[in-house]
Homo-oligomer: A and B are copies of this chain.
């Protein structure tokens, strides 16, 4: 058994049985090992941003890491933006990055780079394996690091000779430790605040956003009058009929300030203190009102569900009293395409069990209310803000959950960063419907230009914000990679295309001309 095989077998023993890959020469022994070690599903991406984003989507839905296979420093570099997003979301990922054979590094061949230096800003754990004898143990340590709550990015760098030289066998992966319990004083403090009767907000993100955690928060809200909200972006939010509904802190600072203005207390459950996405001239970064007190109930890696259960006990809240969302579909909209009609169309069509990967940027800011009463579904947001997140994450989510519909809400500007994901969706026949909202621009930047005080742009500035001239034909683009598609120009066309996509299996693309 060589090092590569010892690693593949260790990954499988540690429950890592999916590998999103874009390999090169230095990874060839790992690829060869796939042939004689059954059980690893290897999924090719034609660009590494697809690979790392898919691992993010997979980790969110499977609640365990996939591995990636990346080619030296530049291959890791191509995957960096989606690793940044995954790190901010605390997704579990085990990156395997090939390196030159250890004897070859000193020659500074073309692909030689500081791989650890590239890995560090987007990894919680980085190691270069020193020998084929240690690869298995290093792999086990990487899995353990990735699985540590709330989920981490572990990057294992594998010099080629550690893959081809002999190994000693596989390594044992330690059990995943339970989440840390929240200290009693923080639970009591939260309960005291909630019983105090002053306006309070429970602000959540992380593992709490499942049915159970939301029910507990809803019970506490029903009992104490506290409001519930999530961060703007969340790793995964269980929502829809039968679940406790929550809104998100808005993106636009003025709206966020307004929404948070009534509160005297914010209880942070996994969430960070609310801050604006960007800093602006003469605008505060912190979004909670002056005089509002922030109370930390649970850190992101702590057992927030247990903490909420203990708070519920202290305040005497019962889950059965939580206000859950009733099933409710908006009426099927007709007429023109606009943000409201799109929201209604989505709310009318969203199937049970759907996984919504939301990179709709400006278009989708108002999608929550009209989709709240749809059948139970999951909603995934970009937590790192680097666009090109949607199609790869949808790809990985579909690999993790082959029996569920994945709907990728995508801006046209964002889609172009990692459009190669469509090819992987076609190759693997994944049940992903990509909806491209084609407003022919980086629409968000027009607002941002004004928000930073640089408004009223001229032609040269506008040229940097618009992606028309030439207009991108997303249907032709999808077809060129094996994904059939439809362009729609009114909401009836959208309803029809969406219904068709929901009825059939396999990848589809809908280009919505805005």
Interface residues in chain A, defined as those with a beta carbon under 8 Å from any beta carbon in chain B: 21, 23-26, 28-29, 31-32, 34-36, 42, 44, 46-47, 49, 72-75, 77-78, 80-81, 84-85, 88, 100-101, 103-104, 107-111, 113-114, 117-118, 120-122, 160-161, 164, 233, 272-273, 275-281, 285-286, 382-386, 388, 413, 416-417, 419-420, 423, 426-427, 442, 444-445, 448-449, 451-454, 457-461, 463-465, 467, 469-477, 479-482
A80 near B463 (CB under 8 angstroms)? no
Give the distance to chain B from A186, nearest Cβ to Cβ, in Å: 21
Q: Which 9 A-B pairs have the closest CB atoms?
A: A104-B279, A470-B482, A77-B80, A74-B386, A101-B279, A32-B454, A110-B385, A35-B458, A476-B480
A78 near B81 (CB under 8 angstroms)? yes
Report B-chain residues with C-beta under 8 Å of the C-beta of A84. 73-74, 77, 113
A44 near B110 (CB under 8 angstroms)? no
A463 touches which of B44, B272, B423, B471 (Cβ 8 Å): B44
In the complex, which residue of chain B has the Cβ closest to the Cβ of A447?
Answer: B25
Report B-chain residues with C-beta under 8 Å of the C-beta of A44. 463-464, 467
A388 near B453 (CB under 8 angstroms)? no
Report B-chain residues with C-beta under 8 Å of the C-beta of A449. 28, 31-32
A113/B121 contact (C-beta < 8 A), A77-B84, A78-B388 known: yes
A286 touches which of B42, B85, B107, B464 (Cβ 8 Å): B107
Q: State A307–B457 Cα separation when bound (angstroms).
A: 52
B31 near A457 (CB under 8 angstroms)? yes
B420 near A285 (CB under 8 angstroms)? no
A104/B285 contact (C-beta < 8 A), A21-B464, A46-B417, A84-B77 known: yes
Report B-chain residues with C-beta under 8 Å of the C-beta of A117. 117, 120-121
Give the distance to chain B from A317, nearest Cβ to Cβ, in Å: 32
Q: State A312–B473 Cα separation when bound (angstroms).
A: 58
A278/B233 contact (C-beta < 8 A), A113-B84, A121-B114 known: no
